[in-house]
């Protein structure tokens, strides 16, 4: 059985947490590509808000919800 502190260390995936930093090193499946159509989709993953979109060239992209470039 894990201690409460070990459990927190392994299960918290928000920004600036050890597991959050680890998970951000890899691709995370958050939605099927076929679900991303013309309108952008707002999602929440790893404790953060993002927007998924499909560009004019058909490629899927993901940005922070509050990106200054939007």
Could you write out the DSSP letters of every residue in 10-56? HH--STTSHHHHHHTTS----S-GGG--SS-EEEEETTEEEEEEE-T
At 50 the pLDDT is 93
Distance between CA atoms of residues 25 and 53, nearest Å: 21
At 69 the pLDDT is 66
pTM: 0.74
At 32 the pLDDT is 93
Three-state DSSP state, 41: strand
* Tens-digit pLDDT profile for residues 4-62: 999 988 899 999 999 999 999 999 999 998 999 989 999 999 989 999 999 999 999 99
């Amino acid at each position: 059985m894990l201690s409460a502190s070990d459990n927190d260390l392994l299960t918290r995936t928000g920004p600036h947490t050890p597991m959050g930093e680890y998970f951000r090193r890899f691709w995370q499946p958050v939605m099927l590509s076929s679900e991303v159509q013309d309108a952008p989709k707002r999602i929440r993953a790893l404790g953060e808000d993002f927007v998924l979109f499909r560009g004019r060239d058909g490629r899927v992209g993901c940005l922070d919800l509050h990106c200054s470039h939007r």
